[in-house]
Structure 1
């Protein structure tokens, strides 16, 4: 099992057809069932690593679109130092959509894994974080190797930006929003 698949392994509920829903379909489903005020976008990562910047880039773009409940931006990342505090402060009534970067097999680099289930933050780093999210989006930013931290550090920023753009395009399409003044 690749690391990108293992971020969900502990939470696998057996619904294989839900395992890797398309990104666009997942956001379309959310838009049908939730108002923006009912969603909380938890964008995990740091701006100090090109690969791990996926979450904060998504968070900054969501804020620019006017999403009301977003944690984890380039200005205020949601990382290992504050993740548990942020998660514990999220009102229980909100549905959490978690975003994080991950590492995987060579053939999965550049893919976005979307699921109706939680993800385990920093799964490729063998962390002890509890799974988070009702929905989750993981971007495979590089190949998992013997030094996962280095793999995140050396991930292509261009690839991370493309994955961010694809994610934001799916959000804009589903929720009918556009960033003021164009792309952020």
Structure 2
């Protein structure tokens, strides 16, 4: 009888662990899984040369599609343009002297936390690998992303604005 009781307790503990993993563990692990940004997820043509996929990385999850788009921020030291898409993340920084610096990398989203890891910089000869630079941001809404030094807002293209006005 003691053996059956111990066996029942061990089985009950095993069921609790399995339920806990399925309920909380697996979703947490999926959220922490890096979402690499490179190859196009839906075989969409790359319209932005900055967003060309980097070799050897996976695709961004389709659940992030509402975040896709261009976000802009203006600061005293220049203008920032952050692009998120199925091909990854890209940033175009334009300084006050109108020089452009272009970076690309991959991003991960965990709840409201957005982390972009910049891995390449565009040069005259193409893309050059750089030391990975993490950039931690907070998603405020689908139209706003806060970074430590700047706040990005979703950029609405002029053609989309004109169709809304008519």
TM-score (norm 1): 0.24
Counting strand residues as a fraction of each chain, which structure ranks higher?
A: 2
Structure with greater helix share of residues: 1
Q: TM-score, normalised by structure 2?
A: 0.26
